[in-house]
Amino acid sequence: MSRFWNPILRDLKPYVPGEQPKADRLVKLNTNENPYGPSPRAVAAIRAAADDSLRLYPDPEATVLKEAIARYHGLSPDQVFVGNGSDEILAHTFLGLLKHDKPLLFPDITYSFYPVYCGLYQVHHELVPLRDDFTINPDDYQRENGGIIIANPNAPTGLGLPLAAIERILAANPHSVVAVDEAYIDFGGASAFGLIAAYPNLLVIHTLSKSRSLAGLRVGFAMGQRELIEGLERVKDSFNSYPLDRLAIAGAVAAMNDRAYFEETRHKVIRTREELTSGLQALGFKVLPSQANFVFARHPAHDAAALSMSLRQRGIIVRHFRLPRIDQFLRITIGSDEACAELVTALAEILKN
């Protein structure tokens, strides 16, 4: 703590991102990246955009990207907000739409950036416990609040929430914003974007980092009625008018337009997830039914921290959270078929010893 710091920083526990190791021999199954790489059309579009025009600022509205996203979802471009990764959109959402004098509600086990934004922006919040089976009970979100945020599928559990439950939460909270963080929705969950016309309080947040394999480009977007989108634009224009650079806009547009590649790769990930789930179960792991590009698994007879260490010694990195209730779980990203087979073989050896 420095005497020059704003006192907010004293109590702030910043988000700890998953490790990004320098050695590329490692089998990296720790931060939910996509093993297949982005659409070749996206890569070509980024290359084509890398020319003299980079001396000019990008379009502050990223209009072509909003149009591509709107077309894809059957919305109008003014129902779309774009930002530098969904993390940035979440930050703007916490500041502009979820900061009120009543507590914000979110599950006690969820994306660990939410409490960090609360600390940074001084948003009063209450954690809502998950059920014993780690599912979200929509009836727990009926009490007085200044906003609600739900990750669907939830992270790190991978469990999806049915649309009917989301709708129940929306209908019970007409006076607060319900933000649904759908970072992993394309791997099997049901998106709430179709509810936007009926619910002015709904904000749906997506990313191109996972199902479109562009984590390195940093593009996310939010969809909602104009009232909410205008709120986010107001925060953006007070913070960074050019959140997306020219290369990101070009690549993201091409990725949104390449549906065939998107469908093929997301289905490959889903198939590998089902195979990995069976492989882990055959070794005695309990695996939560995932709708994401990762699985959350525990072994009743083996300590998760020790398993994670042993995997690391074999060059395989998975994610282990030292947090109450989930410290016996491993979160394993769905990699290529080969990477997942290597993981299962390594775990079989570790469990034998």
Peptide bond into 115 cis (omega under 30): no
Rounded CA-CA distance 210/213 in Å is 5
91/287 with CB nearer ligand PMP: 91
Q: Is 155 an interacting residue with respect to ligand PMP (CB under 6 A)?
A: yes
Q: Is 251 an interacting residue with respect to ligand PMP (CB under 6 A)?
A: no
Q: Is 291 an interacting residue with respect to ligand PMP (CB under 6 A)?
A: no
88/347 with CB nearer ligand PMP: 88
Q: Is 180 an interacting residue with respect to ligand PMP (CB under 6 A)?
A: no
Helices (H), 130-245: 163-172, 226-237
Q: Considering only residues 58, 107, 158, 220, which one is a binding residue for ligand PMP as defined by CB under 6 A?
A: 220
- Closest CB 158 distance from ligand PMP, rounded Å: 11
Q: Is 163 an interacting residue with respect to ligand PMP (CB under 6 A)?
A: no
161/346 with CB nearer ligand PMP: 161
Which range in 80-88, 277-285, 317-325, 327-335 contacts ligand PMP by CB under 6 A? 80-88
Rounded CA-CA distance 316/336 in Å is 13
Rounded CA-CA distance 267/257 in Å is 17
Q: Is 294 an interacting residue with respect to ligand PMP (CB under 6 A)?
A: no
- Closest CB 235 distance from ligand PMP, rounded Å: 16
Give Dmax over CA atoms of the chain in angstroms.
60
Contact (Cβ atoms closer than 8 angstroms) between residue 89 and residue 205? yes
Q: Is 207 an interacting residue with respect to ligand PMP (CB under 6 A)?
A: yes
Contact (Cβ atoms closer than 8 angstroms) between residue 228 and residue 261? no
> Residues 91-120: x/- map of binding to ligand PMP (CB under 6 A)?
--------------------x---------
113/199 with CB nearer ligand PMP: 113
Q: Is 183 an interacting residue with respect to ligand PMP (CB under 6 A)?
A: yes
Q: Is 151 an interacting residue with respect to ligand PMP (CB under 6 A)?
A: yes
CA 217 to mean position of chain CA atoms = 15
Count of Cβ atoms closer than 10 Å to residue 290 Cβ: 28
Q: Is 181 an interacting residue with respect to ligand PMP (CB under 6 A)?
A: yes
Strand partners, 181: 151, 205
Rounded CA-CA distance 276/331 in Å is 12
Q: Considering only residues 87, 186, 245, 258, which one is a binding residue for ligand PMP as defined by CB under 6 A?
A: 87
Helices (H), 173-245: 226-237
How close are the terminal C-alpha atoms of the chain, in Å? 46
27/155 with CB nearer ligand PMP: 155
- Closest CB 261 distance from ligand PMP, rounded Å: 19
β-pairing, 104-107 vs 147-151, is parallel
Q: Is 215 an interacting residue with respect to ligand PMP (CB under 6 A)?
A: yes
β-pairing, 147-151 vs 316-317, is unpaired
Q: Is 86 an interacting residue with respect to ligand PMP (CB under 6 A)?
A: yes
Rounded CA-CA distance 295/159 in Å is 9
- State both tokens at 311: 């995997």
Binding residues vs ligand PMP (CB under 6 A): 85-87, 111, 151, 155, 181, 183, 207, 209, 215, 220
